[in-house]
A and B are shown apart, each in its own frame.
Chain A
Amino acid sequence: DARVTQTPRHKVTEMGQEVTMRCQPILGHNTVFWYRQTMMQGLELLAYFRNRAPLDDSGMPKDRFSAEMPDATLATLKIQPSEPRDSAVYFCASGLERRGNNEQFFGPGTRLTVL
């Protein structure tokens, strides 16, 4: 049963520290998405890759966030330096983009707490 995996599942860190979240998309999928979920803002799209190329990162604070896909099996989301307002659940999703459907498969999320 193919699934999106994310590590770590939980992360507690102090303000100013670097945080790296990792995602392994489902093999064969050509799109990867990073979302952030908070009680106040709900689910927000941070970044979107197609065939490993970044297509849209307009939802991401550019000064401290960066998203990359070093290869087809790994996507990373990095925050440097982290701030308390970054505390949220970060979801990675992958999908096979085709006309008519673009079902996204979500991972279990990384719950980040910045103290």
Chain B
Amino acid sequence: DAKTTQPNSMESNEEEPVHLPCNHSTISGTDYIHWYRQLPSQGPEYVIHGLTSNVNNRMASLAIAEDRKSSTLILHRATLRDAAVYYCILRGITGGTSYGKLTFGQGTILTVHP
């Protein structure tokens, strides 16, 4: 599986934007970029995913570099409820037994200050 690299931790103030980076220099042309987050004492939850173009949804935006070797998850206005571990994960689109697998790394611990 192609690897991702994320900072161990980041801090933000409430109501400010947060940019969470992810490096994936060995990404293949068929890998999707997925972001999940895990709130304290909960299971992970899906945030957003993309392939080549930038993506927006109600939770966040995903900015993907032109060469796809890095991406940034953007929380436009951080709230205290956004404090979580954020995971950047690559997932292939080819079939077979590994198609649906998500391999979680250590993620980025986001702390949001009031």
Closest Cβ of chain B to A40, distance in Å, is 11
Return chain A residues, CB-CB under 8 Å to B102: 33, 45, 102, 104
Q: Which residue of A lies closest to B45 (CB)?
A: A106
Looking at chain B's contact residues, is the secondary structure mostly helix, strand, loop, or mixed? Answer: loop
Cα–Cα, bound, A35→B100 (Å): 13
Whether A108 pairs with B42 at a CB distance below 8 angstroms is yes
Cα A101 to Cα B106 in complex, Å, equals 22
Interface size range on B against A: 20 to 34
Main secondary structure on A side of the interface with B: strand
> Among B8-16, B19-27, B90-98, which stretch is in contact with chain A?
B90-98
Check if B105 is an interface residue, CB within 8 A of chain A.
yes
Contact with B along A39-74 (1 / 0, CB 8 A): 000111100101000011000000000000000000
Q: If A42-B104, A42-B105 touch, does A102 touch B99 (CB 8 Å cutoff)?
A: yes
Q: Which of B43, B51, B97 contacts A56 (CB 8 A)?
A: B97
Flag if B93 contacts A50 (CB, 8 Å): no
A25 close to B (CB within 8 Å):
no
Which A residues lie at the B interface, using CB under 8 A?
A: 4, 31, 33, 35, 42-45, 48, 50, 55-56, 91, 93, 95, 97, 99-109
